[in-house]
Each structure stands twice: as structure tokens, then as C-alpha cells.
Amino acid sequence: MTIDTHAHLFIREFYGEGLWNGYTRLNASWRPATVTQEEAEEEVRNTVLPSWWEDRDGLEHVWRMDEAGIEKCILLYIDFGFLFPREGAPSVVEQNRYISEVVSKHPDRLIYFCGIDPRRDDAVDLFEKCFTEFGARGLKLYPSTGFLPADKEVYPLYERAAAWGLPVYFHMGPQSPPYKNEGNTHPSLLLRVLVDFPELTVVVAHLANEYWRDLLALGRVRENVYCDISAKQIVAKENFGQFCHILRRYLDEFGKERVLFGTDAPLLERAASSSEWVDIVRGLPQNAPEDCRFTEQEIADLMDGNASRLLATIPEASDLG
């Protein structure tokens, strides 16, 4: 079995053009040497983004899961309303509701995590609504939209998440403008949160990207932090040996029971399909370099055992009475 703990459904009218332009530039960067960046961006605009936008009911996403052999997937909704506002966009309540309704049509395959910017006046009420009415099983936060993870204005959300037993998922790591890089994306910023909320489970996406060494250090000192390897398919394809060594260090030093598999679909399908990424990770016991071995059990835990255990700890609102 394979569980993808990190994927998205991108609805066009939710987000401003700044987000789509950034994703266009990123996808165009994976191009043959004979094609210019501008040509590639035009192609992405005409083909890749429309394919995401057409998948309004998640059917394409579930088909992609089938093709890759992924049984379950967490869809992380992100509240980008502060950084990429769009005129006439549905409210953040409606956006969360929309994603939860898609998920509810595939209850055995998809899991909904809500997204709420903690700077919203009604952030706590909204979180409660997402949990009790929309069935959220976790919360996604995105500090590089411009807030600090350990800021006291975020604490009410942590208090609720800890009380309800919901994990909080973070995107961490440096990002280019228009994302805010003002000291708000370093994993060490989560240490205060992990210490203040020892019962809260935190998940950090993408091994914190370029800050992966620092996230490694966080895993060594705190037990209540998990991480996912989504987006590492890029490194795995460009430098397989380096990917293997980073993953080996995570299993040995961060904690092998707290590393999760993820794709970040559909964002990176152009660089490496979900199916290809699953095959790369599943093949590690056979294909990793001699000095960096993985056991079948380690990869089974990474692909689903760890995520299954984590998901089993998350209650539904009805369980709490």
C-alpha cells in the first residue's frame, strides 16, 4: 500500500495570477535545452495549468493515484488569500468547503486537511467549522505568506489542533519573492511551538527544502515532528545518490518512524510523474548505492506504515462528542 500525505487540488478562481505565474515559471524550468524559458512558459500556460484547472472534481487526481498505485492521499488546501488574493474569489470558508466536498465523494481514497491563514480575524471559528462541519483531519499552514510560526496570533490554532488531536502541516524552506523570506520559514522557528505544545503533531513538508539539514536537527531533539519527502523527486532524478544519502540520514537521525511519502501532485508531474516517483522510492532496496542501503521494511514504513499510524491517531469530530 502507498499513502501520499501531500497533494493539492488547484481551483483556478481561488487564487490570484501571482500564484499561477510562479507555478508556470517553475514548471517551465524543467525543459529541454533546445527550448527557451519563454517558449516553455507558454506551453505550460496552454497545457499544464489548464489540465490542473479542469480537474475540479478530483477525478483526474484519483486516476493518477490509481496509475501510481496510491491507495490514499491527503489533499492539503492552502489559504493563499493574503499573498495571492483574487478579485471575486470565493471566501476562504467556501474554498475549504469546496475541497472538503470533493474529498467526501472519495471517502476511502482522499483525506481533507483545511487551510487557514492565522491572521484572519475569525481563524479559530473557521478552523472549528472546517473540523466539525467539513471533516478536516488536519490543518495546513504556510508561513512564507507572511507570518511567523511561533507568533502568538497562531497559538489559538495550535491550542485547538492539540485539543482535537489534529496534526498541523507546515510548508517550510526559503522561497523566491513574492513569498516572504523574512526569517519565517526556518525549521528552528518550529522548536518553540513543539516545546509549547508537546502533545501537538507537526509535519514539515519537503524536508524543509534547502533547510533540510536544520530540519534534521529538529527531528533529533523533538519527537512530535514528522516530515514528508514530497518534491524530492526532483533531487532523486537529478542526483539519485544525493537523494539516497539525504533519505538515509533522515531515517537514521530524524527518526525512521516519522518520515512520510508525498508527491505534491499535480505540481511536479511534468518533472516526474507520481507513478515514476513511487517506483523510484519502492525500488530503493534494490537500486540505492552500495554504501547507502534501505531495507524493504524501511521503505514499507515510509510508503504507508508511518502515515497509517499517524492517521489512526486522528479523531473525527464526531468521536469527540
Q: How far is the CB of 290 from Zn ion (least distance, A)?
A: 33
**Is the Cβ of residue 55 or residue 264 nearer to Zn ion in the bound state?**
264
Report DSSP state, residue 256: G
Which CB, 79 or 264, lies closer to Zn ion?
A: 264
At its nearest, how many Å lie between Zn ion and the CB of residue 10?
10
CA-to-CA distance for 162 and 153, rounded, in angstroms? Answer: 16
| Residue 233 or 248 having the CB closest to Zn ion | 233
Nearer to Zn ion, 264 or 269 (CB): 264
d(CA 299, CA 93): 38
Which residue of this chain has its Cβ atom nearest to Zn ion in the complex? 264
Q: Give the distance from CA 200 to its chain's centroid.
A: 18
Judged by CB under 5 A, the stretch of 15-23, 83-91, 260-268, 313-321 that binds Zn ion is 260-268
C-alpha cell at 135: 471533516
Which of 117/264 has CB closer to Zn ion? Answer: 264
- DSSP code, position 257: G
At closest approach, how far in Å is the CB of 171 from Zn ion? 6
* Cα 129 to chain centroid, rounded: 22
Which residue's CB is nearer to Zn ion, number 84 or number 294? Answer: 84
CA–CA gap between residue 212 and residue 222 (Å, rounded): 15
Count of residues near Zn ion by CB under 5 A: 1
Can you tell me which of 55, 117, 264, 269 binds Zn ion, judged by CB under 5 A?
264
- Closest approach of Zn ion to the CB of residue 156, in Å: 24
Q: Least separation, in Å, of the C-beta of 145 and Zn ion?
A: 13
User: In the sheet that 110-115 helps form, which strands lie side by side, from edge to edge?
Assistant: 3-7, 72-76, 110-115, 139-141, 168-170, 202-204, 225-228, 259-260
Q: Which helix (H) or strand (E) holds 202?
A: strand 202-204
Query: Which C-beta is closer to Zn ion: that of 78 or that of 247?
Result: 78
Q: Are 258 and 224 contacting, i.e. CB atoms less than 8 angstroms apart?
A: no
Q: Which residue has the cell 536544520?
A: 214
Least distance to Zn ion from the beta carbon of 39, Å? 26
Q: What is the smallest separation between the CB atom of 295 and Zn ion, expressed in angstroms?
A: 28
Q: Measure the CA–CA gap between 183 and 197, rounded to whole angstroms.
A: 21
From 39-47, 148-156, 256-264, 287-295, span contacting Zn ion (CB under 5 A) = 256-264
Q: What's the rounded Cα separation, in Å, for the pair 48 and 46?
A: 7
Minimum Å distance from CB 103 to Zn ion? 16
From the list 24-32, 129-137, 247-255, 264-272, the region that binds Zn ion by CB under 5 A is: 264-272
For residue 4, give the 3-state DSSP assignment.
Answer: strand
Neighbouring residues of 24: CB distance < 8 A, sequence distance ≥ 6:
41, 44, 45, 48, 49
Q: Which is nearer to Zn ion, 142 or 294 (CB)?
A: 142
Pick 162 or 203: Cβ nearer Zn ion: 203
DSSP SS3 for 317: helix
CA-to-CA distance for 74 and 278, rounded, in angstroms?
16
Length of the chain: 321
Q: How far is the CB of 281 from Zn ion (least distance, A)?
A: 17
Is residue 79 within the footprint of Zn ion (CB under 5 A)? no
C-alpha cell at 114: 483545511
Residues that bind Zn ion (CB under 5 A): 264
